[in-house]
Amino acid sequence: MGRTGGPEAVCVGETMAVLTPADGAPADRGGDLAVGAGGAEANVASGLAALGHRAAWAGRLGDDPFGRMVAAELRARGVDTAAVEVDPARPTGLYLKDPDPAGSRVHYYRTGSAASAMGPRTRLPEGAHLVHASGITPALSPGCSALMDRLLAPDRPHGGPLVSFDVNHRPALWSAERAAPRLLELAAAADAVFVGADEAARLWGAGGAEEVRALLPGVPLLVVKDAGDDAVCFTGRDRVRVPALKTEVVEPVGAGDAFAAGFLSGLLRGLPVRERLRLGHLMAASCLRAPGDTAPPPPPGVRDRLLAADDQAWRSAVL
């Protein structure tokens, strides 16, 4: 329960309109485009809502058709948008997905977007147990970077919401050289951190999960994901590793956000670390099998069976 009966979790960042080829073919072949809403933080909020949590998204949209469509779609997914600010002058951001099972390309049209005007005074719902943000936001503008300083202030009130941070480096927004020290600084200040082993290597030269832990020794919950292989969670001196599920990959964008939603759901529910990681993998596998950035969770019966499975049954499961 949220402290005031409001959302349990608030996800903060930019949500954009998404154009995706309806047939899953490369975008330059032409054809119909499906229009939807996407953004790392909104994807996490959607995943949490799909798992039964009261989840909110906080950010800014333009006073335009794309902005109204984004807000309506998030509400349809069960996400609370009451804190969203509407900018009368700046447009809603837009991106085009160019599908490829080996790694889709994304083309952004977000310069000067309404979200880039976020800042330390951006309104957030009160009373949540958890605030989630990502390393995309500080790259959008100086104001957005200042917002991250507010969320992850070292002197933030004791007993306030846990702050979760997904490193989520986007080379199209800023180079690894420029992003590396800032993302490490923000990650070190968070209560829970998600980072891919590949991006940790690219940003910080880390050669595996143990080296990432050495860079972030004080983070209470550190999750290092190694694509389709496994995920490791460090809590203090303890380490839990859970292999990923075998599944067909239709489109990979959004799987990391789905994983974060599953893990954070387990955290909110008080599940053991191993089950949090398994729920993350279950959500990621469902997203990998879908053409969009989000997908419905596996049915409750499937989730319950696999969360309770022994290690051998988990390793042999195919979703």
Instruction: Note the pLDDT tens digit of each residue in 28-43.
Output: 777 788 889 989 999 9
Q: What is the pLDDT of residue 101?
A: 61
Over range 73-84, report the average pLDDT.
96
Over range 90-94, report the average pLDDT.
97
Share of the chain above pLDDT 70, in %: 95
Question: If pLDDT is split at 50, 70 and 90, which confidence band does 118 have?
Answer: very high
Over range 66-80, report the average pLDDT.
97
Q: What is the pLDDT of residue 105?
A: 78
Over range 151-164, report the average pLDDT.
91
- With beta carbons less than 8 A apart as the criterion, state whether 133 and 11 touch: yes
Does 226 qualify as catalytic in the annotation?
A: no
CA dihedral 50, 150, 70, 46 (to 10 degrees): -10
- With beta carbons less than 8 A apart as the criterion, state whether 42 and 11 touch: yes
Question: Could you give the CA distance from residue 274 to residue 270 in angstroms, rounded to a whole number?
Answer: 11
Q: What is the pLDDT of residue 24?
A: 67
Residue of 64, 257, 310, 311 marked active site = 257
Q: What is the pLDDT of residue 6?
A: 86
Q: What is the pLDDT of residue 22?
A: 75
* E-only strand ranges, 110-260: 130-134, 162-166, 192-196, 221-226, 230-235, 238-243
Report the b/e string of 235-269 with b at 16+ CB within 10 A.
Answer: eeeeebebbbbebeeebbbbbbbbbbbbbbbbbbe
Q: What is the mean pLDDT of the chain?
A: 92
Q: Which residue has the tokens 């994983």?
A: 259
Q: Token digits for 28?
A: 């330059």
State the amino acid at position 151 in one-letter form. L
Question: If pLDDT is split at 50, 70 and 90, which confidence band does 249 have?
Answer: confident
pTM flag (> 0.85): yes
